[in-house]
Amino acid sequence: MTAPIWTRDEPQSPCVNICTIHPTEGLCIGCLRTLDEIAAWSKLSPDERRAIMAELPARAPRLARRRGGRAGRSPT
């Protein structure tokens, strides 16, 4: 009989090893967390981690690239 594999019942880190902080948004371009969230991750409760994970998809548009030239500056 094989022993069951132990697993954790908590969210894993969203880190994808692309660790660069966007200079104006203050978010990691890889995982979309702030520096404070990254630093505190190991100390956060599973519920706190889940709350952060739920917010991450909404942060992605903040890092969308603008088009250059006039199209990037004006809405028309």
Q: How far apart are CA 61 and CA 65, in angstroms?
A: 9
**Cβ-count burial of 73 within 10 angstroms (0-12 exposed, 13-18 middle, 19+ buried)?**
exposed
SS3 28: strand
Question: Is pLDDT at 59 greater than 50 in this prediction?
Answer: yes
Distance between terminal CA atoms of the chain?
A: 69
Q: How far apart are CA 22 and CA 42, in angstroms?
A: 22
Q: Where are the domains of the chain?
A: 17-62
pTM recorded for the entire structure = 0.72
pLDDT value at position 5?
Answer: 72
pLDDT tens string 6-44: 666 667 889 999 999 999 999 999 999 999 999 999 999
pLDDT value at position 76?
Answer: 46
